[in-house]
Chain A
Amino acid sequence: MSDLNAFRQETRDWLEQNCPPSMRTPANNAEDACWGGRNWVFKSEEQKQWLERMAAKGWTAPTWPTEYGGGGLDKAEAKILKEELARIKARSPLDSFGIWMIGPALLQFGSEELKQQHLPPIVRGEIRWCQGYSEPGAGSDLAGLQCKGEDMGDHFIANGQKVWTSYGDKADWMFCLLRTDPDAKKQMGISLVLFDMTTPGVTPKPIKLISGSSPFCETFLDNVRVEKNQVVGEVNQGWTIAKYLLTHEREMIGGFGLTGAGSETLGQIAAKTVGVENGRINSPLLRADVLKWEIDAASFALTAERVTDEVKSGQGVGATSAMLKYYGTELNKRRFELMMKIHGSDAMIWDGADSNGGWVPRSWLRTKGNSIEGGTSEVQLNIIAKNILGLG
């Protein structure tokens, strides 16, 4: 235990020395996030410093092994780091699909060569990744994907169309599901492959959403050469890895239901916009909705904590990611419906000087996708019913 206390003290001291002042203020909007990659333009010198210093410690990926550039921390140490970061309200040094998604899959299923090649640049924020999963004809029924990879001996030639590629136009590499055996049963002929987005024949096109922004692309693959040594795991065995990755994605999206450390609560915001009389928000009906949301959000945050602790102590069932995804995204949708009510007519302003770029209505519209992406709420309920409750 004293080792952990010493680790906490060292961590605290190091953060004190190395976390720049502007990185200890709450992020105002999505624009404040740091995604890294070849084409990344840092918003400030301090944003760059913060990433470089954390990456040098391996703390952008705290639990990854040091041989791949990670922090090499055990779970208890990683929890302490997280707590100390939260204590000083530090921003995330790097948001990354590399760290959240393909990295864990490579650690679990990738060859030594792939790990050496891809993990260190992910930790350093040098390569930004995107996911090529969904297709126009394969949404909830993902295993019905049709993008094909034709076996040419030492490489595949990929053809087809991917959709909902997050930041496909900004990414450097894609992890992508291809049908490499057209004759095998649905789930059996799929491979997970990696390729550079600058490979000839790869064309990402942004999709404009109801929120006005374009965080997703449709990506066209036209005779794209994919090297065989860039297959993760075995050829035609990609579905298992794809499901593993979806679990990570679900947990990540479910985490959207958690309010960030240091940010204002709905109750505090409503108290300001609606006013308080005798210690109570002036609108009784709004107050009732806000407190119900806050109680659910607190319960959800504790559940995310409990699930993590149970897995750590070996008690967990490990099948709860569907529940966290379902509940977290529904919670986030409710949160932004309330934000719209709390901000009144200001919430209708799409653009303008005081509207923070229409942050409230645009975020509200964006949340509608939370319960669709990464498996719809209905698919999550199916998973719970079948896999956990045993209902056929």
Chain B
Amino acid sequence: MALVINEEQQMLKDSAQGFLAEFAPVSELRKLRDEGSETGYNPDLWRQMVEMGWAAILVPEAYGGLEFGHVGMGQIVEQSGRTLTASPLFSTAIMGVSLINLAASEEQKAQLLSAIAAGELTTTLAVDEKIHHGPTQISMSAARQGDHYLLNGEKRAVVDGHSADKLIVAVRSSGEAGQQSGISLFLVDRNAAGVTVERTEMVDSRNSAIVRFADVRVSAADMLGAEGEGFAPLSAALDIGNVYLAAEMLGIAQESFERTLQYLKERKQFGVLIGSFQALQHRAAHWWSEVELCKSVVLKALQSLDEGDAKSPLLASIAKAKLCEVSELATNEAIQMHGGIGMTDEYEIGFFIKRARPAAMLYGDYNYHGDRYAQLCGY
């Protein structure tokens, strides 16, 4: 497949850019932060997104979705990286839909996917228990008692953990931390007895929570997939999530670059535009080159998800690792080239560095994905 987006995908990209720039620019994130928004996103904005069909893009047509594919959804997420838009799009329309699609029964899919597509249900994934990502490092227990399970344990870095209707929780039903087998996926109501949610205030002003489970009773019917077989769908969903995080970071890298380039063409020192200095020109040219590489890896990874390519895990790790590296370069250079004004809260460039790091950390940072890439290559 040619490494380009088609006309329909370009149209979606353009309309997402227009919509987000108008209704969810960086100033909206600042407002959510300063007003101490309870949901952490604007429910009206989410409703508009649902009306435009964004919650249904990855939902198969059979369940009332648009089945428009990952390359299309990737364009929206890339644009949302430019505007730093907070919404349940990632936790629900990407992670929730993907996990349900990969693991759930026909009956569960029919019920849950159509509810998500209609904007009636928000979800999230609760996977990590330690401060570093490790999808096999799961200790949270699920003990079977007749037709129920009792869940006990703690999950960290749960995106939208305090606002999602339902949590998809990766738990250990057998074996021990470090093993792939013995992991099961449960759908848990956020308001179920025994669930306590501690919302954590994050550097990016986006939603994250620590969720604690104390003797939480869930029915066997709320398990997604077979008992102990949860790792495969979990891992595949994490690959999908990581490609979208890479797409978001691509938006961040591009937007911070373009804003900085503009600044180099406006700011004068020593009587000339600072963009006339070769020391800055070469750094900007290098930065631009790195962003060009990022565009290629993100598009390739999105295409491979659509094709169900066996190389998807490898490409997901390449994309995530590369974007972790370049989004760090981009946001650091953005601050440095803006100089003093880049250090002020009033100026928006600082919002990009504050989102870039949590996006890189979620579901594995550069070190995690570099290591995973090498292991997948056999070294």
A binding-site residues for B, Cβ under 8 Å = 265, 267-268, 270-271, 276, 279-281, 287-288, 290-292, 294-296, 298-300, 302-303, 305-306, 309-310, 312-313, 315, 320, 323, 326-327, 378, 380-382, 384-386, 388-392
Contacts and interface: CB of A to CB of B under 8 A. Distances in A.
Given A281-B374, A302-B297, A378-B282, A392 B292 contact: no
B188 to A, nearest CB: 34
Contact of B296 (A294, A302, A378, A390): A302
A237 to B, nearest CB: 29
Identify which of A291, A299, A385, A392 gathers the most chain B CB atoms within 10 Å of its CB.
A299
Contacts of B2: 309, 312-313
A373 to B, nearest CB: 19
A226 B379 CA distance: 58
Q: Closest 4 interchain pairs by CB?
A: A385-B281, A384-B285, A302-B296, A306-B3
Contact of B292 (A298, A320, A390): A320
Contacts of A309: 2-4
A114 B253 CA distance: 48
Contacts of B278: 382, 385
A39 B369 CA distance: 52
Contacts of B299: 306
A392 B275 contact: yes
B282 A381 contact: yes
B38 interface: no
B320 to A, nearest CB: 10
Nearest to A274: B379
A295 B318 contact: yes
Contacts of A391: 261, 264-265, 275-276, 280-281, 284
B293 interface: yes
A151 B236 CA distance: 71
Contact of B4 (A276, A302, A306): A306
Contacts of B379: 267-268, 270-271, 276, 279-281, 287, 290-291
Interface of B: 2-4, 261, 264-265, 273, 275-276, 278, 280-282, 284-286, 288-289, 292-297, 299-300, 318, 321-322, 370-371, 373-375, 377-379
A291 B373 contact: yes
Given A295-B318, A382-B281, A280 B375 contact: yes
Contacts of A388: 285, 288
Contacts, number: 123
B1 to A, nearest CB: 9
20 contacts: A268-B379, A270-B379, A280-B371, A291-B377, A292-B370, A294-B373, A295-B321, A295-B373, A299-B293, A302-B300, A303-B296, A306-B299, A312-B2, A313-B4, A315-B4, A382-B282, A385-B284, A385-B285, A389-B288, A391-B275
Contact of A327 (B265, B289, B373): B289
A185 to B, nearest CB: 23
Nearest to B293: A299
A186 B188 CA distance: 75
Contacts of A299: 293-294, 296-297, 318, 322
A268 B276 CA distance: 45
Given A267-B374, A381-B281, A305 B288 contact: no
Contacts of B281: 381-382, 385-386, 389, 391
B291 to A, nearest CB: 10
